[in-house]
Amino acid sequence: TAETHFLSGLPLKSPVPAGMAEAMFGMGCFWGVERKFWQVPGVWLTMVGYAGGYTPNPTYKEVCGGDSGHVEVVQVSFDPAVVGFDKLLDVFWHAHDPTTLNRQGNDVGTQYRSVVFYHGVKQRDAAEAVKAKLGASGTFKDPIVTAIEPASAFYEAEDYHQEYYRNNRSQPYCQYVIRPKLKKLGLQD
């Protein structure tokens, strides 16, 4: 994969510094959703990759073939003194449709499933609370199918996937969905 992140210049494969936290989200094709986290103050670094499956070091072809069990994910390193996990959850719920099983738009397959991979009990509880709030609110006409699972091994995606939106800004397919109804629940865009 790339050596450094184009926005920050930080090494992609460096350890997360002390005081930083990590979050990981599967919400469809990682090409367009990674960029939403770039706009959040306190996000230190983002990287796209694969998680939640059983094949070690999977390739994009293996993940798309459905044989690896992995999900396309965005891993976010953030400073919890600047941005809370709740804000990252806001981005997550705004950027995809959590009611479609193994599908986002025209992308179909288990690699596009909606999932929060939590790091610790606090993240799990926060994700479960928001999911329950949304489920009870009637915001979505269909049930929420988002899974909430413990974080598993993260495998970096190939270089051409990293910061994809930066290199393909005119790609209309990489736009995210705005959910105005979520604002009524106190989840801000």
Q: To which residue do tokens 């106190």 refer? A: 186
Q: 180-185 long-range contacts, Cβ below 8 Å, gap at least 24? A: 181/139, 182/90, 182/93, 182/94, 182/134, 182/139, 184/139, 185/133, 185/134, 185/137, 185/139
Question: Is residue 174 among the annotated active site residues?
Answer: no
What is residue 1's three-state secondary structure? coil
**What is the Cα–Cα distance from 115 to 104, expressed in whole angstroms?**
12
CA dist 174 and 165 (Å) reads: 7
Q: Tokens for 90, please give them.
A: 């806001």
Structural contact between residues 83 and 43, judged by C-beta atoms closer than 8 angstroms: yes
Active-site entry in 21, 27, 29, 88: 29
List active site positions.
29
